[in-house]
Amino acid sequence: MHKAIRHSTAGFTLFELLIVVVMASILALIAAPSWLTFVNNRRADAGRDQILQSLRQAQTQALQTRQRQVVNFITPANALPVIRTGAVSQTLDGQVQADKRTSKTYGLTLVGNVNTGCGTDARGCVVFDDRGNIVLGSGDPPPEETGIMKIVVTSPADGGSTRCVIVRTILGSMQNGIGRDECT
């Protein structure tokens, strides 16, 4: 018996393949801005959560040890912002990136921040006394007048997604804030 050999003509032409590539490119161009916004929102949320966690840990430490705790916020020119409590320092995103564009990842500003008792290289700080209360000092504007300090995180640094930690100095409470309206 002789077996017949069949030649398959199934497949795609070059033109069909080009059409699929063009359609995929158009879809990627449409989705890219939404994806970048999503990534920046998540990054800003993570930075804000890290700051809030550091503040709460320092407040708890002050209560437990009955010693003053200072949370310094350091913003080096060409590096990620740093949160320093005592001898412990951590970059804002908690990781070191391989590329040289790390300074563009986060922006960190303080509104109504306390300058008294901060480290020499700190842009501002939050100071907890031995009972976990916030120590007021000089700032711009003075926290005594507003009753509020804000630690604002933007991602990317040049004004993308904005998140903040709002510290109410009278009660010592801390909460999350979202958006430019709430964080400025």
Tens digits of residue pLDDT in 17-57: 999 999 999 999 998 888 888 888 888 899 899 999 999 99
CATH 3.10.20.30 fits 17-183, yes or no: no
pTM over 0.85: no
Please provide the DSSP assignment of 3-43 as one string: PPP-----S--HHHHHHHHHHHHHHHHHHHHHHHHHHHHHH
Query: What are the phi and psi torsion angles at 32 (to 5°)?
Result: -60, -50
Tens digits of residue pLDDT in 16-27: 999 999 999 999
Higher-pLDDT residue of 111, 103? 111
Tens digits of residue pLDDT in 49-98: 999 999 999 999 999 999 999 999 988 877 788 899 888 888 887 444 44
E strand or H helix that includes residue 46: helix 14-65
For the chain, the domains span 17-183
Q: Is-contact 20 132, C-beta < 8 A?
A: no
- Tell me if residue 106 falls in helix, strand or coil: coil
